[in-house]
Structure formats: structure tokens, C-alpha cells
Chain A
Amino acid sequence: MAKEFVPNIRQLPKFMKEDPGILPGHRACAGCGCAIILRQLMMARRKPLVIANATGCMEVVTTIFPYTAWKTPWIHVAFENAAAVAAGIDAGRNKLQRSGRFSDDPDVSVDYDVVALAGDGGTYDIGLQALSGALERWHNFLYILYDNEAYMNTGIQRSGGTPFGAWTTTTPVGSKIKGKPLTKKPIVDIVVAHRIPYAATVSPAYWVDALKKFRKGLETEGPAFIHAFGVCPRGWRTDTKDTIKLSRLAVETCFFPLYEVVNSEWYLTGPSLTIAKNPERKKPVEEYLKLQGRFRHMLLPENKWMLEKFQELVDENWEIILKRAKNV
């Protein structure tokens, strides 16, 4: 791996102005956390990106013919196959590089990093098979999961990434069943089980941590995976001004710990490492939940058990990660 990348806040604005990768004016909702993730990815580039985007929010908001927000080569094929499309791009790039077919063509470059981009539906659920296959085959690409915890693009239906208790349009708060009775799939565990060289979690609130990880993912030889936390004001029923606050609280409450898994070794990073060393800094998850309409029912006295269960789930998950972390 190359020398560690340290984002330079003085140079970034110039870099992003000259070569933004993604342009403003797209149709993401106000306060969209996922759009911020895309900008942060672009800030971490070492060379041009070619992006294979699954069907979903980021595909829909960045394109509508004849408009595009992408100033980088980009392809959308379908919902469940971002990893397979990226695999094909990787293979094509390898052969074209090896054969030198375009080496004399000033109009073509085949020197780029391949990124697959998909939401939680396209990763936890319908795209899991293609993802697993591409990881097993050791393609040289970075897979970015932007997780807004439900099928937001189709109108807030639950996914394998929706957390316990959350209201969605397919897990309504009924008189009998209140919100999602099941828990969030441990997607990073599943990915890491493929023994890939690099996996990490990022939250846009901690942008230096995020940029470093995106860059490491891009520099990794072989498959890399980044689980990015994407606040969705529409689907979570949150105030648009709270997006970064929520992105921070998710980490501070240990609902979404920040870590990286390098060659199957786990390391906590940034604020999560601080909390691990200073457990008193871990905030109660209620602080995170209470800002969100999707968890409103859990704060009612009669549903106190749900709040308690949510806290238990967070604690259990945090304990598991603490046990794994090599740097604690």
C-alpha cells in the first residue's frame, strides 16, 4: 500500500473545483447523507474512477436523460448486479491495459479505479449474491454501500439493513406489530468472512476518517468494501439540518462504530477508538433515536421495552467489535 493518504483541507477545494467528479444540481433531497458520501469519495481519489451504480437513490437523483451529475465515467445496469458489472469493468480494463490496445490513443485512458456503488437494498438483499461472487473472485474494485436503512427510492420499505423497531411503510407501527421486529443484518461481518484485504465503516460526520478509508479502499489490491452511513431525512423522518448531527450521534452512541478490517484484523478508528478507551463517553442510544420520527413510538412509555431492546442490541454489537479490535 502506498504512503498513507492524509487529506489536505487547503488543497481539497481547489482539487474539487478543478475535477469535481460529481457536480452540484442533482436531485438528491435536502439533507441527503448519501450525496455527502459521494462528495467525500470524490475527495479521496488517487486517479479517475469508473463507477458501476446499482439502481437506487443515487442512480435516480444523479441522472435523468439528458442530464447527468457525473463528471466521471458511470454506468447503471440494474438493481442486483453492481458488483457483477464492476467485475466486468475490472476484467475489461485488465485486458485492455495488458494488450496496450489504447496506448497510442490520446482520446482513451484505461488507467482508473473501479467502484461499485449500491444502497442497502442493492447490497444486503437483492445484490448480496453478486457481491459475494465478486469478492470470492478477488476482483480489483471498491464496493461502497451507502446505507440509508430502507428502500427509500421506492418509498421507505424495510430492507435487511433496516434496524430493529424502525417504522417503514412495510413495517408500520400497528396495534399488534410495531415497526420492524427483526434486526439489521451484520453486513460487514458477512463481507469480512470472504477474507478480503480491506473493509471499513465510514460516517460523513468524520470526513477525515472517511477520506482516508475511501483512499485505502481504492488503493487496495483486490476487493475492498466500505459501509457508509447515509442519513435519509425523508425516510427517517428527521430534520434536514440534523443530518451531520445524526451521523455523529450514530457513532457516539456506538450504533454505528467506525472501524476498519485489514486482512481480517479489526481496528477501531477515530471517535470509536476514543470511546473504546474512555467508555464513559459512550452516549445512550436514545439520544440518537429521539431525533427520528421512525423511532418515535419507541419513546412512548408503553413501548419502553423496545427502547431497552434497541440499547441491548447496540451494546451487544459494540462488545463484539471491542473483542475483535486489535487496537483496544
Chain B
Amino acid sequence: MQKVVKQRMMALNGDEAVAWAVKQSNVDVVSAYPITPQTLIVERISEFVHNGEVDMEFIKVESEHSALSACVGAAAAGARAFTATAANGLQLMFEILYITASLRLPVVMVVVNRAPSGPINIHCDHNDTMGARDSGWIQIYTEDAQEAYDSTIQAFKISENPEVLLPTMVTLDGFFISHTLQNVSLLPDEVVHEFLGVRKVPKIKVPEIHGDKEVPLMLNPRYPLTFGPLDLFDYYFEHKRQQIEAMMRAYKVIEEVHREYAEISGRSYGDGFIEPYRIDDADVVVVGLGSTMGTTKTIVDELREEGKKVGSIRVRVFRPFPRERLKKVLCNFDAVGVLDRGISFGHYGQLYTDLCATLYGVKDAPAMIDFVYGLGGRDMPPKLLKKIFEEVLEARVKGPEPVFRIKGVR
């Protein structure tokens, strides 16, 4: 067990915490376009670069589409690449999200969750990143600025692991976290450098072209490779299958990286995938993502004082979805309330449908209710959360119907 290192405490908001993580992570190329509420990330990184505090190339692109495209080019050239965006910016990248994952390039992107237009809105909900959940990126939803910092550093190590080689998206809630000051513990630069090193390019065999030689998987005149060829029905599916399998291998890597980081920093978030809170003897729990789950803990404490056996579970990693963990833990409860800060129009919230799929056919599966809340940054006051807990407790007796409930809306 490694000793926890001494750390520096700084008052940072979520965006600044991310910028610090990027500064310390030996990033070679940043390519980003400003969008509220992500702007502080690009502003701080620009300051670091313009003051010579960090040696990286910062491409100030003309659009998010180019932001991610340039990251793809840089990563294929062998560099460690980072970008950050939100909502409409993420949507403009949509085409390249899939291509980044398919090219198996370990790009890291921070998305400051913001409601997608329209109508145009700058505040938090999760519909932006939920829209990208099927693009082949690992998705980590963080609860506060500290976790955003920690997860950004971890993301490089996860993505670059040769067993994984998939891009990672780290999210934080717009304004609630991005613009809220918090005490954040920063690891010393050299500790992060040692944890991550510089980007190592994996080696592969391409017998048809380079014989038995193991060649670096990058754009490299010594051993030329072709990235992104036409790929029709005779091989495309095999490449998709490799992506499916890489995502499955990511479970282990995410867990290891989280544990290794915890040993150095002294900070962990549940087992890295889900963060249960006071669930041991709970009758009901509320499950959700992001900053709301901080408030939820407070409500759990209050209700516990009233003698109610409630708990909460925060889902931290959404892709790959921690289905085995959730299956195991959720069967212990009579009823589960799912908090969705997103909606699939014509269906339920995204977390709810994934949990239903996870628990389908499982003996002793709990009654489940979907609570859609907080779209466009609508507040989730403690009072409303308490009401949600009460409704979940009621469902133990009355059953879960109606399973779809919209909360905090006129």
C-alpha cells in the first residue's frame, strides 16, 4: 500500500479543477472551442500556456467539430490529446465521437453538462452526454469539483491502457459544479507525472504489411499504417465486436486505476463504479448521477434521523454500465427511485431504462420508479428530494405505479 501523498488545497470551481488536472497530466495537444459553461476550462488552460507554465500545443479551433477532429489527428500522431465542451458543442462533435472510438484513440474529453437546445439554455441537464452514450466512449459522471479533477487524471490512464484504447468522457454538472467554488486537493505535479507518465503508444502486429515486427500504432513514416480505411460488411462487424470487447475489458482497468489513484490521493468514490451511501440496512434507495447525489446524501442523513431506512447510490461510471454491481446491490431493496436528469422522448429517462434492462428477469428485483427532474438547470431543492424519498417509501406498500413521474415542473 502506497502512502497517501501530501497535497495542496486550493479554492477552485469545477472548471478550474479540470484545467489544473489537464495542466498536470502531460497533455501534448489541447484542441477546444469555447462554450458556456465549459469556458473557464479553456480560459485557464490558455493562461497556463500563455504564461509558459505548461508545454502543450493549444489549437484554438473554429468549431467543436474541428476540436475533436484535431484531437483525433494529434492522438493518431502519437500525442496525448484533450478537449472540453458542453451541450451543443458535443452535438456538433457527434460524428467524430463515433470515429474517435472506432479508431481506438485514447482522447479524453470533459463535458460540462448543459441542456441541449432548443430552446436555448445554458444550465445543467444530462441530455447532452446521454445522447452520446452509444458512441463508444467511456463515460464518468462526477459529483463535485474534486472528483472532476481526480477523474480527469484517471481518464488518461484508463483510455491509454492497451487493453482498453477507448476515449473517455468525464462529465460535471454545468454551473452547479463548473462555477461553484470548492476546496480541491491537488496532487503535486511530480506525483501526477509519475502516475501517468507521458503518452505511451501501444505496439501492434500487422503481418500483411510489416511481418513479425511489432510496430507503434501511430502515424509514423518508419512503419506506415493506414487509419480509417473503408470497411464494409465483410469486416466492419468484427471491428465493432472488438470495441464491444474493449469496453468489457475496461471494467477491470477502471477499477484498477481508481484503486491505484486512491492509494496515492486518499480519495475514492465507492468502488469506482457506484458509490453507495448508507444502504446496508436500507429498505429503499434513490439512484442517480452527478451533483444531485451530494444533496441526496444530506437528505438520507435527515431521513435516517427520522428513523427511515433509506440510502442512496450514485452511478459514477455510466459506460461501461456497472450492471453486475447494480444487479447485485439493487436486489436488496424493496423499492428504488431513479433520478433522471434526462429524458428519451417517448420513453423514460436513460438511467431508468438501463436499470430496468439490468434487472429484467432477476428474482427479487425491486419496484422501480423513474423521477425525471432538473431539465434545463431546474433546481432540485432538498424538499423535493425528500418528497421523492417518501414516494419511494410509499411504493413499498402501494407498488410503483405510475412508474414515470416528472418532478419540479409546473
Residues of A within 8 A of B (CB): 47-48, 50, 52, 59-60, 63-68, 70-78, 80-81, 83-96, 98-99, 101-102, 105-112, 129-130, 132-134, 136-137
Residues of B within 8 A of A96 (CB): 28, 77-79
Instruction: Give the dominant DSSP class at A's interface.
Output: mixed
**CB–CB B61/A91 < 8 A:** no
Contacts of A93 in B (CB 8 A): 77
Find chain B residues with CB under 8 A from A107 CB: 215-216, 220, 222-223
- Judge whether B304 is part of the interface by a CB distance below 8 angstroms: no
Q: What 0/1 readout, one digit per residue, does chain B (67-104) give for beta carbons within 8 Å of chain A?
A: 00111111111110100000000000001100100010
Contact B69 A78 (CB under 8 A): yes
A88 and B224 in contact, given A93-B77, A136-B62 (Cβ under 8 angstroms): no
- Inter-subunit contact A64/B232 (CB<8 Å): yes
Contact of B71 among A65, A71, A88, A133 (CB under 8 A): A88
Assess the B77–A66 pair: CB atoms within 8 A.
no
B65 at the interface (CB under 8 A from A): yes
Top 3 closest pairs, chain A to chain B, by CB: A88-B73, A133-B62, A63-B229
Q: Is B271's CB within 8 Å of the partner chain A?
A: no
Contact in complex: A109, B221 (CB < 8 Å): yes
If A68-B226, A68-B229, A87-B66 touch, does A75 touch B73 (CB 8 Å cutoff)? Answer: yes
Contact of B219 with A by CB under 8 A: yes
Nearest chain A CB to B239 CB, angstrom units: 8
User: Total A-B pairs in contact (CB under 8 Å)?
Assistant: 188
Complex alpha-carbon distance, A130 and B62, angstroms: 7
Which residues of chain A are within 8 angstroms of B62 by Cβ–Cβ distance? Answer: 129-130, 132-133, 136
Q: B59 near A137 (CB under 8 angstroms)?
A: yes
Task: Please tell me if the beta carbons of A92 and B28 are within 8 angstroms of each other in the complex.
Answer: yes
Nearest-neighbour CB distance to chain B for A141, whole angstroms, equals: 10
Residues of A within 8 A of B77 (CB): 50, 88-89, 92-93, 96, 110
Cβ–Cβ contact B230 & A64, under 8 A: yes
* Residue from the list B60, B228, B234 in contact with A76, Cβ < 8 A: B228
Interface assignment of B256: CB less than 8 Å from any CB of chain A: no
Name B224's contact: one of A72, A90, A101 (CB within 8 Å).
A72
User: Cβ of B72: which chain A residues have Cβ within 8 Å of it?
Assistant: 75, 77, 85, 88
A interface footprint on B97-132 (CB within 8 Å = 1, 0 otherwise): 001000100000000000000000000000000000
What residue in chain B is nearest A76 (Cβ atoms)?
A: B228
Distance in angstroms between the alpha carbons of A222 and B74 in the assembled complex: 18
Q: Most B CB atoms within 10 A — which of A52, A88, A108?
A: A88
B231 contacts A84, C-beta separation under 8 Å: no
In the bound complex, residues from chain B placing their C-beta under 8 Å from that of A83 are 66
B79 lies within 8 A of A75 (CB): no
Q: How far is the CA of A90 from the CA of B69 in the complex (A)?
A: 12
Does A130 contact B65, Cβ atoms closer than 8 Å?
yes
Q: Looking at the assembled complex, report how far the CB atom of A83 sits from the nearest CB atom of chain B, in whole angstroms.
A: 8
| B198 at interface, CB cutoff 8 A | yes
B293 at the interface (CB under 8 A from A): no
